[in-house]
Structures are given as C-alpha cells and as structure tokens.
Amino acid sequence: MATKRSGVLTFEQRLARLEQIASELDAENVDLAKALSLFEEGIEHLRSAAAELATAEATVQRLVERADGTFGVTDAD
Amino acid sequence: MTSRRGARSEPASELELFPAAEPAPRIVEEPLPSYVGSATYPGETAEAAIAVSTLTETARDILEGAFIPIWVRGEITDFKAHRNGHWYFCLRDSAAQIRCVVWNRDQRRIPAPPDDGMLVAAFGRLTVYPARGEMQFTVVRIEAEGDGLRRKALEITRARLAADGLLAPERKRALPRFARTIAVVTSPDGAALHDIVAVVRRRRAQVRLVVVPAAVQGDSAPDELCYALDQINRWRGADLVIVSRGGGSREDMWAFNNERVARAVAACYAPTISAVGHEVDLSICDLVADHRAPTPSAAAEAATLSKTELEAELRRAAHRLRAALAAKFSADRDHLRHVARDLVSAAVRQTSVRRASLERVSGRLHALSPLATMARGYSVARGPDGRALTSVAQFTEDMPFDLVLRDGSLPAKAWPRSDPAS
C-alpha cells in the first residue's frame, strides 16, 4: 500500500489513502522516520488531488454497443 | 368453422364459447345458387335462401362498417382468462350485455386483467362472431373506474417483487461517495437528461455521465429500458446508475411500473438511483432501486459531490494528516518526558532505600559494639593471645595482660591473689 504512488489514483482513492495514512500515523508503534515518510506521501496525494480538482470538468457521453458486443462511448454534446 | 391459429385442439364446446384469436377466415362464398322463380336477390324466396354463414358474415361486414372503434362503459362479468391466452368477459349494464374478447396480443396495453364487478370503459370494435351468431366487442384497451386496473397491476407487481425479496430494505446498497462514471438510462432528448446535466455542470462535479438511451414511455419503453440496463450490466463501466424520466401522465410513466423493468433495476451490478417524474410520483422502480430521488435533478444531486464539497473534503484530509503527524511528535515528546521523570524518581527511590537500610544496619552494629559497654565504665582484660580473660582462673601470678578501656588499652600484671579467707 505504501508503495502505491500517486500517479494513477482517483480522487476517491487518494482521499482513502490519506485517511489510511492518518490512521497509521495515529498508531502507537510507528517510528518517527516512518511517520515522516507517511506524511510526505500524504502531502503528495493532497497536492495531486487538488491539482485534479482544479482541472477536471464534467463530461457527457453516450454508450455505444458495437456489433461484436464490446462497448465504447462517444461524446454526446 | 376453422381457425388459422390451430385452436383446433380445443374441445368443441369451448370453441363455441370462446372464439379463437384471429377472426375466423371469411368463408369462401359458395357459388350463388341459381335463383329460381321470381327471386331477384338472395334470400327473397325459399328457393333463394342463403346459408347461415352468409347471413352472419354479411351482418359482420355491415356492423364493422357501421361502427368505428369506440369506448363503451359497463360492468365486467364472467371474466375468464382462457388457457388459449385470450380474455373473455361480458360487459353489462342493468338492461343489456355484450360479449367481449381481448386477444392475447392486445393485453400488453392493459395494466392488469379486470375483475368481475369492475366498472370499466372498454375501447374496441363491434363485430359478429359467426360461429355463435353473436355480437362481440373486440376490446383493445380498458380503463377501470378509479384507476382500478393500474392499482391492481401495481399491487400484483409489488407483491411478486416482495415475494422475491426485491423490496427488502436490507437489499439497499449505499451510493458511492465519489462516483466517477454515472450511467444514465433515459431518453436522450428528454427533460430528465437535460436537468441531470444542468445540475452536474452547475455543481462542477467531476463525473463522466454516460447516457444509455431508452424510450421512457410508450409500448416499447419496457423493452428498451430492460435492454439499456442489460447493456450496462455487460459494459460494467459505471459505478452508479440513474434510471430517470421527467414528469408526465400516469400512463406515460407506466413503463417504470413494469415488473421486468423493476427486476432489471434490481439486477443491476452497480448501485441504482430511480428518479421518475416528480415528487408525488412513486413507481415500482423507485421501490426496487437502492435510492429514490424525487426528481431527475435530485438524482444528480444525490449522485455527485460538488466541487465545493470536494474541496472541503480535501481540506479535511489535509487537516487530519497534519494533526496526526503533530500528535505523533507530541506523543513522542510526552513519552520521553515521562521516561526521564520515571528514571529520576527511580534513582531517588533506590538511593533512599539503600540509605535507610544502611542506617538500620549501623544502628544494630552500634548496639552490639562492646565499645558502648565500655563507654559506660566497663573494661576487658585480654591475654597475650588476644583472647578476653573472663575468669579468675585464667590468671596466674605476675601474668601480664592488657586492660582494654573505653579509650585505649593499658599493660597490666596480675598480682598475687589475696586469699579471700584471710
């Protein structure tokens, strides 16, 4: 889990990871070095999530079923 | 009489009672008998008599030509859902009655089979059933007084879904807090989609809406809704599904009371929100879905977090992270402080314990010391070998010894013993 880097996570996953980091920090048996590395990871998640929040927009698409039974989406606007 | 549909397997008596699905084929006109005598038209004379079937066929042609399809009101009696799939009943008032049939294929437009005693308006076409020579009203729609048929249909559907546990509260799944992709089953041109998109845009919610088009009213709506939900189940790309349509008449929204549609909603792999019509409209879909929204807009609100809410969420997470780290440091500091305090007090405690035992030992030592006795004026005689001389018998004449006193010792010598008797 700690190896999960922040590149591919969704906003929700980031928040979940942040929650987890905070819980780990709350645990009594975490040494300071580990605590600091957890904190740094947390800050990274916060930064990425905030960046994502700043750019993303709602999109409206339409589900399209292809002849071979696979699915795709097309822009509906 | 013959039937194209193979209803031939029915017992003859039933065939007579209940006409087959298709109107009986026109009986091929037999060659008209050559009129005899003075007859100028068929049936004018006994010799020119027409066949019974010719009479009923002709009557049917005239009746069907004379009446356009019409609504007729009356009370249902003798209702029978025949095993050939068709419904038979009489429609009557205080003075008259007419036999009615609803063909199997026309039943889908009727919410539920009517019950005897129901006051209804039936829409259909007047015809003649030649096999019995009776007038027959071929019904394609029925509206019961007080919307009785729809109420009955709802009750039936509801009971069937409840029997399968599909209405149980414990089936309801929680909606994802952060849905990323929301499938919207609705008409692509409808007000519902327009409202949902408007709400999502206004809230600047970060979601992908994927419209899965389906007719939301009309005969094809149940099939299309089921198909759309089936597509979503095969696609598996959404983490939340909204099934929705805008307001309309009760009839417009009827597809959302369809049992198959309800079961398709229940079978959806992702949590579902049902938003059909307005606040006051409650559909079977609403009962089956994991969440019921009163309007399409409300569904969009329930499905998404606004950008503001997301930012607040992020701030909370940041605060919690910092607080956790700060707590970590302060916990360590406190721990250190406690350890130091414990160490000092342990050391102090050890010292005082030892001092006390030292004092105890030295007191005892002191009490046992002969020096204390000598301090009170006693002395000890010690022989050359250092042993204490405690008896007269240990002394000999002129024997030297040491006399040990409180503050030192003196060399001494024993004098001749004076006889106690002298």
Which residues is B389 bridged to in the sheet? Answer: B381
Residue B293 has what pLDDT? 93
* Residue B213 φ then ψ, to 5°: -65, 140
Would you say residue B405 lies in a domain? yes
Q: Stretch B202-207: mean pLDDT, rounded?
A: 82
Residues B301 and B269 in one domain: yes
Confidence band for B222, pLDDT divided at 50, 70 and 90: very high
Query: At CB < 8 Å, which residues of chain B contact A?
Result: 176-178, 180, 183, 188, 197, 200-201, 204-213, 231-232, 234-235, 237, 307, 310-311, 313-314, 317-318, 320-321, 323-325, 327-329, 331-332
- The mean predicted confidence, pLDDT, of chain A is 79
Higher pLDDT, A23 or B6: A23
DSSP state of A19: H
Whether A33 has its CB under 8 Å from any CB of chain B: the answer is: no
For Cα atoms B351, B356, B361, give the angle at the middle one, nearest 5 degrees.
125
- Domain total for chain B? 3
Q: Which of B371, B109, B273 is nearest to B380 (CA)?
A: B371
Q: Which of B63, B75, B299, B341 is nearest to B199 (CA)?
A: B299
Tens digits of residue pLDDT in B246-304: 988 888 888 999 999 999 999 999 999 999 988 777 899 999 999 999 999 999 998 88
Would you say residue B162 lies in a domain? no
Q: Which CATH number fits the domain that encloses residue B115?
A: 2.40.50.140
Residues B60 and B185 in one domain: no
Which residues is B138 bridged to in the sheet? Answer: B101, B125
- The mean predicted confidence, pLDDT, of chain B is 85
Residues B145 and B189 in one domain: no
Token pair of A30, please? Answer: 């975490």
Tens digits of residue pLDDT in B117-144: 999 999 999 999 988 899 999 999 999 9
Closest by Cβ to B211, choosing from A46, A58, A62? A62
Residues B39 and B148 in one domain: yes
Would you say residue B34 lies in a domain? yes
Report how far residue B200's alpha carbon sits from residue B202's, in angstroms, rounded to the nearest whole number. 6
Residues B76 and B134 in one domain: yes
Task: Pick the last residue of a domain from B108, B125, B152.
Answer: B152
* Mutation site for B-interface testing, chosen from A21, A71, A74, A75 by largest number of B Cβ within 10 Å: A71
**Would the CB atoms of A53 and B211 count as touching at under 8 Å?**
no
Q: How many CB atoms lie within 10 A of CB B109?
A: 14
Residue B139 near residue B124, CB atoms below 8 Å? yes
Rg (CA), chain A: 18
Q: Which of B97, B99, B96 is nearest to B131 (CA)?
A: B99
Tens digits of residue pLDDT in B280-295: 778 999 999 999 999 9
Q: Stretch B149-161: mean pLDDT, rounded?
A: 90
Is the pLDDT score of B415 beyond 60?
yes
Expressed as residue numbers, the domain containing B383 is 372-413
Tens digits of residue pLDDT in B226-251: 999 999 999 999 999 999 999 888 88
Provide the whole-model pTM.
0.62
A24-33, B100-109, B170-179, B405-414: the lowest-pLDDT one:
A24-33
Residues B270 and B215 in one domain: yes
Tens digits of residue pLDDT in B79-123: 999 999 999 999 999 999 999 999 999 998 898 999 999 999 999
Would you say residue B239 lies in a domain? yes
Domains of chain A by residue range: 11-75
Q: Which of B179, B104, B100 is nearest to B137 (CA)?
A: B100
Is the pLDDT score of B2 beyond 50?
no
Q: Which of B207, B289, B206, B201 is nearest to B244 (CA)?
A: B289
